Amino acid sequence: MYRTQLESILAYIAKLQQLDTSGVREANAGSETENAFREDVVEPCASETREQILKSFPRREGDLLSVQAVFESRTE
Amino acid sequence: MDASTLTIKQAAGLLQAKECSSVDLVKRSLDAINQRNGELNALLEISSTVLADAKRIDDRRANGEDLGPLAGIPLVTKDNMLIQGWKASAGSRMLENHVSAYDATVVGRLRKAGMVFVGRANMDEFAMGSSTESSHWGPTKNPWDTARVPGGSSGGSATAVAAGFAPCALGSDTGGSIRQPASLCGIVGLKPTYGRVSRYGLIALASSLDQIGPFTRTVEDAALVMQAMEGKDDRDATTAEDFETAIPELMQKDIRGLRIGLPKEYFVDGMDERVRLAVTEAVRLFESAGALVTEISLPHAEFALAVYYIIMPAEASSNLGRFDGVRYGYSSSGNSLIESYERTRGEGFGKEAQRRIMLGAYTLSAGYYDAYYRKALQVRALIRQDFDRAYKDVDVIVTPTSPSVAWKLGEKFNDPLTMYLSDIYTISANLAGVPALSLPCGFVDGLPVGLQLMGRHFDEASLYRLGMYYQSVTDWHEKTP
């Protein structure tokens, strides 16, 4: 199913190829705003926010997020 | 008091005059919800504290506090907006049990304005859809005909307002997800200028296109909600600061001299003739009230949908990369990390999300980047130039919102390209970043038709002016299902 659906979508978006866009500057973002900077300081978050984020961890050890090893197969 | 047609302005008047309380308004909302939500599936969850929240506003008013026009007004939010302690699933199994750790900026601002949060509304999974059928929680039904779709992706929010669950709901619009359901449900929907409203706390679909906006019964109400919601936010670097707030009370009541453009590329094949007629009628009305109507050209309009279906999936595939089952959300484990990723994403994402992730990953891949993604960014620039050029001669561009009225459930569900084509009139505004408003302008076979008004960047004021004038001389917005 994906194959025929994606094929029809790709065929449709291929219509852009008929346009000559040489020399056109790309519109990279949603607006023309320049980079926005702020001071590089840590802002503490509310304790309820922190608690909820910890609660959302699928696996945790204390307040730490427990993750699977990247390069090994699971041994347990 | 008929809660199903009550506007924010009317409700605010009643509250101010102490003719009703916020608790009364909320009870009316809950009655309407109890009556029809089972059938419509518009709301996924009702707040357990909504009556207490309303009571608190009533108490503050009773204590003589001077509260603004939104204080005590019930509001429905979309399931992709974070409210601390509430679930936010974005219509997906991936986040079915996810609880928000903080408030979205718009939520904080509207709460500060005193709005009362009633519940969260159904939506297409991750806002990917035009019918609200791709939700993990089942489809929402159109209140005008429950065999039909309400549009999407903010179909739950639109249905909630149309069915009288609340006078206002929030939606998000990436390619038409506020305006198209507003059109199919017969209410007002606004996609603000990109950068007017903070996206902080909105679960992202395509970050360069997404904007949050209101659903209401009247244009004036939409402007009221925008006043409280818009503005610079340090937590969303794309928000702008140097624009003017449009205040309905101070606006010109007539539309004499306003210049309206009809893009010839939009009024072609594929549009329901009766939709065309309804829009033409509205334009005639504008003309007789002194507006100057001319035909204009947006030469790259025919490429907008193709551009959109490259840029949106590309950004979506990047944004959805965060759902890996490691830190939050659905998590399925396998024997290796890769297998865990595969299981989590294979089981957690629905079909449309998977389709768009594949499409986005493909058009961003090394061999195809130039042919698809870079090309699309260039054509996006051309589309923006089209609008800039048109706005030298006109103030507002008028089109239909959707080429047809609401279609039957299931009709386009397995044919994504046909589904995508239903957004043909709305996506250009997102690509160009301009504001666009949909308001009801008639009926076809008992189903609402929507009129779309598009303006210059940050010139929502002209859309309000034209829309408010239209609603002062028509009564389409007073019809209820």
Q: What is the pLDDT of residue B289?
A: 98
Q: How confident is the model at residue B379 (pLDDT cuts 50, 70, 90)?
A: very high
The answer to whether B310 contacts chain A (CB < 8 Å) is yes
Tokens for B7, please give them. Answer: 């506007």
How far, in Å, CA of B349 to CA of B335, rounded?
Answer: 20
pLDDT digits (tens, 9 = 90+) for B135-148: 999 999 999 999 99
**ipTM (interface predicted TM):** 0.92
B residues 144-203 closer than 8 Å to A (CB):
194-195
Residues B88 and B203 sit within 8 Å (Cβ to Cβ): yes
Could you give the angle at the alpha carbon of B199 between the alpha carbons of B196 and B201, nearest 5°? Answer: 150
Gyration radius of chain A's alpha carbons: 24
Q: Where do runs of H (alpha helix) occur along B168-260?
A: 179-185, 219-229
CA distance A12 to chain B (A): 7
Give B-chain residues touching A73 at CB under 8 angstroms: 335-336
Active-site residue (options: B29, B134, B153, B317): B153
Q: Please write the tens of the pLDDT for every residue from A23-74.
A: 999 998 777 777 888 889 998 999 999 999 999 999 999 999 999 988 765 5
Answer whether residue B457 shows pLDDT above 90.
yes
Which residue is it, tokens 């551009």?
A: B307
Predicted pLDDT of residue A75: 54
Give me B352's structure tokens: 């449309």
Q: What are phi and psi of A32, to 5 degrees?
A: -90, 5
B340 catalytically annotated: no
Pairs from B277-282 (Cβ < 8 Å, separation ≥ 24): B277/B442, B278/B400, B278/B441, B278/B442, B278/B443, B278/B444, B278/B449, B278/B451, B279/B398, B279/B399, B279/B400, B279/B441, B279/B449, B279/B451, B281/B441, B281/B442, B282/B398, B282/B441, B282/B442, B282/B451, B282/B470
Q: Taking CB atoms and an 8 Å cutoff, what residues of chain A touch B240? A: 31, 33
Cis peptide, bond prior to residue B4, ω within 30 of zero: no
- Which residue in chain A has the smallest CA separation from B331? A58
* Nearest Cα residue to B12 out of B243, B263, B249, B188: B249
Chain A residues touching residue B414 (CB < 8 angstroms):
1
CB-CB neighbors (< 8 A) of A17 in chain B:
371, 375
Q: Between B328, B337, B372, which is nearest A68 by CB?
A: B337
- pLDDT score recorded for residue A74: 55
Strands (E) in B206-296, as ranges, are: 211-216, 259-263, 292-296
Is the pLDDT confidence value at B425 over 60?
Answer: yes
How far does Cα A37 stand from its chain's mean position? 21
Identify all chain B residues contacting A5, using CB atoms and an 8 Å cutoff.
355, 415-417
List the 397-426 stretch of B: residues with Cβ below 8 A of A. Answer: 414-417, 420
Among the partner-chain residues A13, A52, A65, the one whose CB lies closest to the CB of B101 is A52
The whole-angstrom separation of Cα B423 and Cα B426 is 5
The residues near B195 (Cβ < 8 Å, ≥ 6 apart) are A30, A31, A33, B238, B239, B240, B433
Give pLDDT, residue B1: 60
Share of chain B above pLDDT 90, in %: 92
Q: How far apart are CA B274 and CA B404, in angstroms?
A: 9
CB pairs under 8 A between A and B: 142
Tell whether B292 lies on the interface with A, counting CB pairs under 8 A.
Answer: no
Contact partners, residue B205, CB within 8 Å, separation at least 6: B126, B127, B128, B172, B174, B312, B315, B316, B319
Mean pLDDT score of chain B, rounded to an integer? Answer: 96
Name the token pair of B325. 């089952």
pLDDT band at A15 (very low <50, low <70, confident <90, very high): very high
Interface touch B99/A19, C-beta < 8 Å: no
Q: Residue B3: its pLDDT value, please?
A: 65
Question: Could you say which of A33, A48, A70 has the minimum Cβ distance to residue B337?
Answer: A70
Is residue B473 predicted with pLDDT exceeding 90? yes
The Cα of A42 is separated from the nearest Cα of chain B by a number of Å equal to 14
Q: Is B25 left (phi over 0), alpha (psi -120 to 50) or beta?
A: alpha
Encoded amino acid at B54, one letter: A
Residue of higher predicted confidence among B185 and B252 = B185
pLDDT in tens, B329-340: 999 999 999 999
CB contact under 8 A, B309 and A9: yes
Per residue in B183-225, pLDDT (tens digit) is 999 999 999 999 999 999 999 999 999 999 999 999 999 999 9
User: What's at B191, amino acid-wise?
Assistant: K
Helix (H) or strand (E) holding B75: strand B74-78
Cβ–Cβ < 8 Å for B439, B464: no
Whether B92 is a known active-site residue: answer no
- Residue B255 three-state SS: coil
- Chain A residues 32-71 within an 8 A CB cutoff of chain B: 33, 35-36, 38, 45-46, 48-53, 55-59, 65, 67-70
Contacts of B119 (CB under 8 A, 6+ apart): B33, B43, B44, B45, B46, B47, B50, B76, B77
pTM: 0.97
Best B322, B331, B336, B365 member to test A by mutation, with max A CBs in 10 Å, is B336
The arithmetic mean of pLDDT across residues B151-176, rounded, is: 98
Please tell me which of the candidates A15, A29, A65 has its beta carbon nearest to residue B303.
A15
Contact A13 B194 (CB under 8 A): no
Mean pLDDT, rounded, for B413-429: 88
DSSP letters spanning B16-43? HTTSS-HHHHHHHHHHHHHHHHHHH--E
Q: pLDDT at position A32, please? A: 75
Do B298 and B263 touch, CB atoms closer than 8 A?
yes
Nearest to B126 by CA among B176, B179, B80: B80
Do β-strands B292-296 and B211-216 pair in parallel, antiparallel, or remain unpaired?
unpaired
Q: Is B177 a catalytic residue?
A: yes
User: Is there a contact between B353 and B125 (Cβ–Cβ < 8 Å)?
Assistant: yes
Instruction: Say if residues B234 and A38 touch (Cβ distance below 8 Å).
Output: yes
State the Cα–Cα distance between residues B8 and B169, nearest whole angstrom.
11
Q: Does A15 touch chain B (CB under 8 A)?
A: yes
> Residue B3's closest CA among B168, B164, B219?
B164
The shortest CB-CB distance from A33 to any of B238, B300, B335 is to B238
Say yes or no for a CB contact (<8 Å) between A48 and B101.
yes
Handedness of CA B200, B202, B206, B211 (dihedral sign): negative
pLDDT digits (tens, 9 = 90+) for B426-454: 999 999 999 999 999 999 999 999 999 99
What value, to the nearest 5°, has the Cα angle with vertex A22 and ends A20 and A27? 100
Tokens found for residue A30:
């949603």
User: Dihedral through CA B244, CA B246, CA B250, CA B253, nearest 10?
Assistant: 130
Q: Is the dihedral of CA B84, B86, B91, B93 positive or negative?
A: positive
Measured CA to CA, the distance from residue B174 to residue B399 in angstroms comes to: 18
